């Protein structure tokens, strides 16, 4: 794939994520509903769960946007397709599937192993 095509794909994805972020960042439609005196605890628990789910989604979207912005910066710098850790080329097949990838598969696997080992301790 050509750099121009990749840039267009990344920019389109960024626009979609911006829209999705706007839809999820504001108050939910359930925030103004009345709480029944009989079900206050259940209702409050439900609202907290909904809020936590929205916050997790917003964090995921923000991370995806940051990854895309990083890839766009790498295009400008001329380092797109180069692993941030080992500086080796990232496989073209990987970039086709995940155009915002900044790590080769080996470095990504090492990153996952490191994260898992911190949770296993």
Contact 93, 4 (CB under 8 A): no
15 φ, ψ (degrees, to nearest 5): -60, -45
**What average pLDDT does range 8-36 have in this prediction?**
78
Q: Domain ranges for the chain, please list them.
A: 3-120
Residue % of the chain over a pLDDT of 90: 64
- Give the right CATH number for 3-120 from 3.60.15.10, 3.40.50.300, 2.40.50.140, 1.20.120.910: 1.20.120.910
Q: What is the pLDDT at residue 90?
A: 97
Instruction: Give 36's pLDDT tier (boundaries 50, 70, 90).
Output: low
**Which of 43, 27, 47 shows the shortest CA–CA distance to 35?**
43
Q: What is the pLDDT at residue 119?
A: 79
Instruction: Return d(Cα 60, Cα 120) in angstroms, integer.
Output: 23
């Amino acid at each position: 794939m050509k750099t121009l095509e990749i840039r267009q794909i990344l920019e389109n994805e960024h626009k979609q994520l911006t829209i999705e972020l706007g839809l999820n960042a504001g108050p939910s439609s359930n925030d103004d509903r009345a709480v029944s005196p009989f079900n206050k605890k259940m209702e409050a628990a439900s609202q907290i769960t909904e809020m936590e789910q929205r916050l997790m989604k917003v964090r995921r979207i923000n991370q995806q946007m940051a990854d895309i912005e990083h890839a766009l910066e790498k295009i400008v710098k001329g380092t797109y397709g180069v692993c941030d850790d080992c500086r080796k080329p990232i496989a073209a097949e990987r970039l086709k599937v995940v155009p915002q990838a900044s790590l080769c598969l080996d470095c990504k696997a090492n990153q996952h192993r490191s994260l898992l080992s911190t949770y296993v301790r």
